[in-house]
Amino acid sequence: MDLQPHEINLIDGYVRGELNASDRKTFNTLLDENPIFRKEYEEKHLLQQSMRLTGNTESKTFLQNREAKFAQEKETKIHHIKERQGSPILKWVSLAASLLIIAGAVSLFMNPSSNSDYTQIYADNFSAYPNDYAHVLRGESKQNDITAIFSDYSNADYKNVVDKINARLESTGNADNKLVFYKAISLMGLEEHTEAAKVFNSLKKSGFNEYENQIAWYSALNYLALQKPEKAKEDLLRILSSETGFRKNSAKELLNTLEK
């Protein structure tokens, strides 16, 4: 005999840690008295445990990649400092830069919607779109080029993603717009915003409706990174007038922020 929907909800509530005292009591009674209920609970508990192992590995990879970026940024800073120290003429450039910074600070005070604001808004809102193109299993990253692309994507190895997508698009000759979308996100990850804007514009022209809001949302953020708020607003308005729900609330909020 199958479980009733409320019994399934009870199990889901328990494994998600959401039951109140009374529901917990009902849960425990059913667990003792109903073997089908117990079996269902045990399966869901094991499902969680299985997912936790995979989830831990994913989190670790994610944090390691983040750490690698820290190291890279530090390396770049040290490189710049060494370069500056090596060239006396750059002392004058430094002085000029300092004056520019002061001028920038004054302009920031006069105009709150400054470049640094847009950069900050971009940084606050940008996170790579999740992979819903292909499921990548651990250890099979070399199995085919799609799994290889998304294995790199999940590791935030965007340079490889862009190269591999370009190679695939060239070899198949197919206009795989969904894949092109991930290329644009990866270009954003590489901070190649001008190039990303070109890709987003081509996607908009292609009539690729499935990711209409996703394209508009990321294109808007990309325009903010390019310090083009008016263009970003156009994209956000497109989201608000669309039928699909992706990022509608976020678009509204962001538009309000930009209008201030």
- Residues binding another protein (CB under 8 A): 12, 15-17, 43-44, 46-57, 59-60, 62-64, 66-67, 70, 127-128, 130-135, 137, 213-214, 244-247, 249
CB of 135 to another protein, least distance (A): 4
d(CA 177, CA 209): 10
Helix intervals (H) in 87-144: 89-110, 115-125
- Would you say 93 or 137 has its CB closer to another protein? 137
- Would you say 57 or 194 has its CB closer to another protein? 57
CB of 44 to another protein, least distance (A): 7
d(CA 146, CA 149): 5
Report the Cα 111 to chain-centroid distance in Å.
Answer: 30
CB of 97 to another protein, least distance (A): 26
Q: How many Cβ atoms from other residues are within 10 Å of residue 121's Cβ?
A: 19
- Would you say 64 or 119 has its CB closer to another protein? 64
Q: 3-state DSSP call for residue 137?
A: coil
Please answer whether residues 251 and 217 qualify as being in contact, where contact means their C-beta atoms are separated by less than 8 angstroms.
Answer: yes
Please answer whether residues 158 and 189 qualify as being in contact, where contact means their C-beta atoms are separated by less than 8 angstroms.
Answer: yes
CB of 104 to another protein, least distance (A): 25
CA angle 207, 209, 212 (to 5 degrees): 105
- Would you say 204 or 231 has its CB closer to another protein? 204
CA angle 213, 217, 219 (to 5 degrees): 115
CB of 26 to another protein, least distance (A): 19
CB of 57 to another protein, least distance (A): 5
- Would you say 70 or 109 has its CB closer to another protein? 70
- Would you say 48 or 87 has its CB closer to another protein? 48
d(CA 127, CA 80): 27
